[in-house]
Amino acid sequence: MVEGRVAQFVVLVVLCIAVIYFVERARRGKVPKIRKLPGLDAIDEAVGRATEMGRPVIASHGIAGFEDMFAVQTAAGMSVLGYVARLCAKYDTELLVPCRYSILVPVAQEIVQQAYIAEGKPEAYKPDNIMFLSDEQFAYSIGYMGLMTRQKAAANIMIGAYWAESLQLAETGFMAGAIQVSGTANTAQIPFFVVCTDYCLIGEEIFAAGAYLSKDPVLTGSLVGQDVGRIIAEILIVLGTILTTAGVKWLTEILSK
């Protein structure tokens, strides 16, 4: 084996087994329970507010695609989009979904359409409401900002991978008078969302949100598999801190192999 990657490989194998085991367990009906996150109630509140005001909801899944490291955030955003679409279908609230990549438009359209069909309102589904803006970051941002301002959105739900446009979108949403629920795992953007939006899901809470709202056994089982990884990380951190402080190096040496 390549030097320096043995420990990495062992951890990867353990994680793979954990994820596959819990996913299969969930698919067979034993879906684990996930605690409710405070920000998720806010999604219901946001859609409810938009319904009362007769103004649209804007929901986006981030500006990443499915082909890179940020795909998991996009997947979480799509799961939340499915939930929001069901609420909008239930309450006859207009839903607008701006997309950065044209390749994601059919994915988002299918998710929203399925939500409307599930609520028994297939005729209310409008494919033109899921729109491709631009694949340039700031062109997408300005298009989104324009959409929020022109449509006077009452709710703005942004869960996914965001970069520099996060503050622009959050602040514009505030100016438009929208209630905002946000979440991202991009560390540099989390402070902007925390400061400028009403509710913010931080880091891996967006993965939990996606699993919790969609009730998808695959996502839920996968989340529990990730929790196994977190437990391993926590044990290693605590052990490593104690041992390194005491001058004992065997754990560091094992992990370096």
If one asks whether residue 72 binds another protein (CB under 8 A), the answer comes out as yes
C-alpha distance from residue 243 to each of 37, 121, 132, 145, 255 (Å): 35, 60, 53, 51, 13
If one asks whether residue 68 binds another protein (CB under 8 A), the answer comes out as yes
CB of 118 to another protein, least distance (A): 14
> In whole angstroms, what is the distance from residue 193 CA to residue 171 CA?
9
Backbone angles phi, psi at 230, to 5 degrees: -65, -40
Tokens coding 8: 């990495």
If one asks whether residue 180 binds another protein (CB under 8 A), the answer comes out as no
Q: What is the dihedral of CA 141, 143, 149, 151, to 10 degrees?
A: -130
CB of 54 to another protein, least distance (A): 21
What amino acid occupies position 161?
A
If one asks whether residue 182 binds another protein (CB under 8 A), the answer comes out as no
Which of the stretches 89-97, 116-124, 151-159, 189-197 binds another protein when contact is defined by CB under 8 A?
189-197
CB of 62 to another protein, least distance (A): 12
If one asks whether residue 62 binds another protein (CB under 8 A), the answer comes out as no
CB of 39 to another protein, least distance (A): 15
> In whole angstroms, what is the distance from residue 224 CA to residue 80 CA?
18
> In whole angstroms, what is the distance from residue 115 CA to residue 95 CA?
12
If one asks whether residue 37 binds another protein (CB under 8 A), the answer comes out as no
CB of 197 to another protein, least distance (A): 10
If one asks whether residue 174 binds another protein (CB under 8 A), the answer comes out as yes
Residue closer to another protein by CB (options 51, 224) is 224
Could you say which DSSP state residue 153 is in?
-
Q: What angle do CA 20, 220, 96 make, to 5 degrees?
A: 125
Q: Interaction with another protein in 87-116: which residues (CB under 8 A)?
A: 102-103, 106-107, 110-111
If one asks whether residue 241 binds another protein (CB under 8 A), the answer comes out as no
Out of 25, 32, 118, 168, name the contact with another protein by CB under 8 A. Answer: 168
If one asks whether residue 253 binds another protein (CB under 8 A), the answer comes out as no
Which of the stretches 46-54, 88-96, 183-191, 238-246 binds another protein when contact is defined by CB under 8 A?
183-191
Tokens coding 121: 């309102």
Tokens coding 49: 């507010």
C-alpha distance from residue 193 to each of 6, 84, 185 (Å): 38, 19, 11
Q: How many helices (H) and strands (E) does the chain have?
A: 10, 6
Binding site for another protein (CB under 8 A): 1-2, 4-5, 8-9, 12, 15-16, 19-20, 23, 65-76, 78, 102-103, 106-107, 110-111, 132, 134-135, 137-138, 141-142, 163-164, 167-168, 170-171, 174, 185, 187-188, 190-192, 195-196, 202-204, 207, 218, 222-223, 225-226, 229-230, 233
